[in-house]
Amino acid sequence: MSRTLSAPVTVAFDYTRSTGPVLGRFLTGLREGRVVGGRTSEGRVVVPPPEYDPVTHRQLDDFVEVADTGTVTSWSWVPEPVAGQPLDRPFAFVLVTLDGADAPLVHALDVGSPAEVRTGMRVRVRWAEERVGAITDISCFEPAEDAATGSATELGDLGEPVTGVVTPVELDYQYAASPEESSFYRAIAEGRIIGQRCPTCGKVYVPPRSACPADGTPTTDEVELSQTGTVTTFCIVNVPFLGQRIKPPYVSAYVLLDGADIAFLHLILDLPAEEVRMGMRVEAVWKPREEWGTTIENISHFRPTGEPDADYDTYKHHL
């Protein structure tokens, strides 16, 4: 038996967040090279400022500026940083209580070894060279044993407020295809679409499952499917998004291949989006052979065959 296939997959999107007046004020401060805290009803200064008072639950509206120097209250060594962490070399995550604050802030401390970190050490913010109103405006903390003790001061005007941040979110993983999926992708690499038939209920699944979802029977009978099918349902994509390869509006549809009992999702192109309809007969359009790999993207899209629409009864059980 041949080995199963696997491929690296990256899922990523930019998460856009409105900061609101409290965190927005904190981020605006960072842009200006100042650290903003909030004073709670109990008189404690917390950095970053909380949006609501932890005791009274009222909106917090008493803001102060604290120093960019402080004291380490706890730490943890990071010997092998991963992508996206504040530093690309070993560092310490530290809790720092900034001068003028009563609660610690977590951030990175740039030192070469754990021997150079201790609870109680004095540190200072290392500001980013270019500040934009994000937590990354603090590059990290650095040792500052001689730093004088600062205190909380009145918060002056910060200028144009920061109202939003864009946070890219990315997940990298290795996708391991099942033996059945591996057969499917190997067939796709040869220009064929295969499914598997359940020996109990006779339903044909594409791409093949390891077992019939209806009755749990392992699906071992391989069948080659037609490259024509019927649109069972669809949506018109009007919203642009990052990484989009086709200009909206375009249609993403469930196509029930002839001989299959389950529809699969693909693009319907080569006609105006508003002309796509349920029951429309379509056929697979393959990319040039030299571009093929073990990927569903070998099929560029589906296009109308020009046949009369399928009767609703022929696909109504597969919606």
Contacting residues toward Zn ion, per CB under 5 A: 198, 200-201, 212, 214-215
Comparison of 50 and 259: residue with beta carbon closer to Zn ion: 259
Comparison of 5 and 256: residue with beta carbon closer to Zn ion: 256
* DSSP sequence for the chain: -PPPPEEEEEEEEEEEEE-HHHHHHHHHHHHTT-EEEEE-TTS-EESSPPSB-TTT-PBP--EEEE-SEEEEEEEEEESS--TTSS-SS-EEEEEEEETT-SS-EEEEE--SSGGG--TT-EEEEEE-SS--SSGGGEEEEEE-TTPPP---EE-----SPP-EEEEEEEEEEEEE--HHHHHHHHHHTTT--EEEE-TTT--EESSPPSB-TTT--B--EEEEPPSEEEEEEEEEE----TT--SPSSEEEEEEEETT-SS-EEEEE-SS-GGG--TT-EEEEEEPPGGG--SSGGGEEEEEE--PPPPPGGGTGGG-
Comparison of 236 and 262: residue with beta carbon closer to Zn ion: 262
Comparison of 199 and 248: residue with beta carbon closer to Zn ion: 199
73-97 b/e (C-beta count within 10 Å ≥ 16 → b): eebeebeeeeeeebeeeebbbbbbb
CB of 164 to Zn ion, least distance (A): 50
CB of 223 to Zn ion, least distance (A): 14
> Quick count: other Cβ atoms within 10 Å of Cβ 147?
16
Comparison of 212 and 284: residue with beta carbon closer to Zn ion: 212
CB of 217 to Zn ion, least distance (A): 5
Place of tokens 């993983």: 173
CB of 231 to Zn ion, least distance (A): 25
Residues 23, 161: Cα–Cα separation, whole Å: 10
Comparison of 63 and 205: residue with beta carbon closer to Zn ion: 205
CB of 221 to Zn ion, least distance (A): 11
Comparison of 46 and 198: residue with beta carbon closer to Zn ion: 198
Comparison of 55 and 214: residue with beta carbon closer to Zn ion: 214
Cβ contacts of residue 244 below 8 Å, gap of 6+? Answer: none
CB of 255 to Zn ion, least distance (A): 21
Comparison of 209 and 287: residue with beta carbon closer to Zn ion: 209
